[in-house]
A and B are shown apart, each in its own frame.
Chain A
Amino acid sequence: MPLLLGTETEYGIAAPGRPDLDAHALSSLVVEACGVPATPVVEDSRHRMLGNGGRFYVDHGHPEYCTPETTSPTDALVWELAGDRIVAEAAAAVSNALGTPVRVFRNNTDGKGQTYGYHENYLLRRSTDWALVEEALPTLLVTRVLLAGAGRVGIGPASDRPGFQLSQRADFFEQVSGLDTTQRRGIVNTRDEPHALPRDWRRLHVIAGDATRSPFATWLKLGVLGLCLAVLEARALPPVRLADPVAAFRTVSRDLTLSEPLALAGGGTGSALHVQRLLLDAAAAYAERTAFPEADALLAAWGAVLDDLATSGPTGVADRLDWAAKLTLLEGYRARGGLGWDHPKLAQVDLAWAELGERGLAERLQAAGRLRPGPAPGPVEAAMVTPPTDTRAHTRGTWVREHVDHVVAAGWDSLLVRGSAGALHPLRMPDPFRHTAAGAEPGASADRLARSHDRRDP
């Protein structure tokens, strides 16, 4: 089955010069300042569908951006970075209008007890055994922290204890599986809302990951999980399972030695590195038989990271992974000033790492050649205003980008457009792999496009 994935990022937001503006008001200003083609999802809604096929809105007092549906880890990364640019530029416009800085952050906790999400979505076949997903996914997600952790100063939800851990999110998960996303979070989220024909598809909604700033780390974590899910669907995952994933999530996140033994189901122990190696080997064997987007590059990068972690520890991967790059900076400041982990300077560096724009430390490290650069600016800039060509996001984005005045309503799996004579044309898109650029007529008028929708079977 082809890969289909997308991500949702809730950004941290602050305007220290305007304490009178609450988080919702501030986030609303940022969404309204969106500088790329956009349209309300329905009349009077403040949720915007974007000309790149993504979505931009306020959720729980945070600006939130969803990428369009993409078919490769690189495309998911490119449209995610495009979202960062859209949000950063909107925040800069609000800063100018208010005359005081509005800062946006790509992180997942304020360090004071609150968390907000970074969600990944992967399309699964409806026929995939959900019991197997619930059983296997926690082991994948908990050990993936080695690759996907954004790093965090503070231990415990409200940073009650000083220290450093690999994951922003680990301390906020209380059960193995659950439906809630704002409390009693489960490592496996059971939401079943496919935004596609439910008979054929299920959308796996992954809420346990961190928002990373290293483009390499984002690409790797998305690709590795996508590949592991393909291996799962083929029932070819290794049998290794963590006995207590919730406890192991915290253990892995806090274990800077990368060697802590984790209890395995059925007896025995293994480190997160050991489990990742088993997953890598199974994924490599799978990819020998079955095509998967960017499999060779993913397997090579994944193997190199595990090798470098095993031989050199965090410093071996500080040029690629958020948590290790951040830890290197923090240890530098600690060594210099003899700072304890409770020193505010370290929390400041943690926060500044996540800030979008020129002040952001992740950008600084890329500019200094210490963090592997992401895709060229050209494709990312294009992805701010252009949808992917190979999913239904193409049709959604093209309507918003080229015929926004004709769009009455725009959802993930449907569109309602009005022709010049006033007639309404609904378009249902239950198959996310259809309605692509293939067969589309570039530059078609709205009426011609609307009539072509009428001819398509539902």
Chain B
Amino acid sequence: MSERIQRQRGASTQRDEATAPLVASHEQTADLDALLDEIDLVLESDAEEYVKGFVQKGGQ
């Protein structure tokens, strides 16, 4: 195994340990909620029709 990979693995482990899981997860959940709300505004209101209307020819 190369030193480069060991260094990289070390770096990402440190970053994981440095993350405060509880606070981050609350913030992330709030962020995600806001994003889902925003996405809801652009999604077609009729999900079923949008999905049904997408019929493709078989390709390669």
Contact = CB atoms under 8 A, between A and B. Distances in A.
A114 interface: yes
A298 to B, nearest CB: 11
B59 A60 contact: yes
21 contacts: A12-B54, A14-B54, A16-B50, A60-B60, A280-B5, A299-B5, A303-B8, A303-B9, A304-B11, A307-B8, A307-B12, A308-B16, A328-B32, A329-B35, A333-B36, A347-B47, A348-B47, A352-B43, A359-B42, A361-B39, A364-B39
B1 interface: yes
Contacts of B13: 307, 311
B28 to A, nearest CB: 8
Interface in A335-394: 336, 343-345, 347-349, 351-352, 359, 361, 364-365, 368, 370
Interface stretch (A48-56, A115-123, A194-202): A115-123
B51 A347 contact: yes
A370 B12 contact: no
Given A304-B12, A333-B36, A281 B5 contact: yes
Q: Which of B11, B33, B36 lies at the interface centre, i.e. has the most chain A CB atoms within 10 A of its CB?
A: B36
Nearest to B42: A359
Interface residues of A, number: 59
A435 to B, nearest CB: 28
Contacts of A16: 49-50, 53
B26 interface: no
B16 A114 contact: no
A150 interface: no
Contacts of B59: 10, 59-62, 114-117, 182
Contacts of B8: 299-300, 303-304, 307
A127 interface: no
Interface string A79-118: 0000000000000000000000000010001111111110
Interface of B: 1-2, 4-5, 8-9, 11-13, 16, 31-33, 35-36, 38-39, 42-44, 47-51, 53-60
Nearest to B32: A332
Contacts of A312: 16
A285 interface: yes
Contacts of B4: 284, 296, 299-300
B59 to A, nearest CB: 3
Q: Which of A59, A287, A300, A361 lies at the interface centre, i.e. has the most chain B CB atoms within 10 A of its CB?
A: A300
Nearest to B50: A348
B2 A281 contact: yes
Contacts of B5: 280-281, 284, 299, 303
B58 A182 contact: yes
A23 B60 contact: no
Contacts of A287: 2
A43 interface: no
B5 to A, nearest CB: 5
Given A23-B57, A110-B54, A116-B60, A364 B36 contact: no
A181 interface: yes
Contacts of A307: 8-9, 12-13
A351 B58 contact: no
A182 B57 CA distance: 11
Contacts of B38: 364, 368
Interface in A282-313: 284-285, 287-288, 296, 299-300, 303-304, 307-308, 311-312
Given A348-B44, A364-B38, A281 B60 contact: no
B32 A364 contact: no
Given A300-B4, A303-B5, A116 B43 contact: no
A109 B35 CA distance: 26
A365 B38 CA distance: 10
Nearest to B52: A344
A364 B8 CA distance: 30
A364 B35 contact: yes
Contacts of B9: 303, 307
A216 to B, nearest CB: 15
Contacts of B49: 16
Contacts of A61: 56-57, 59
A207 interface: yes
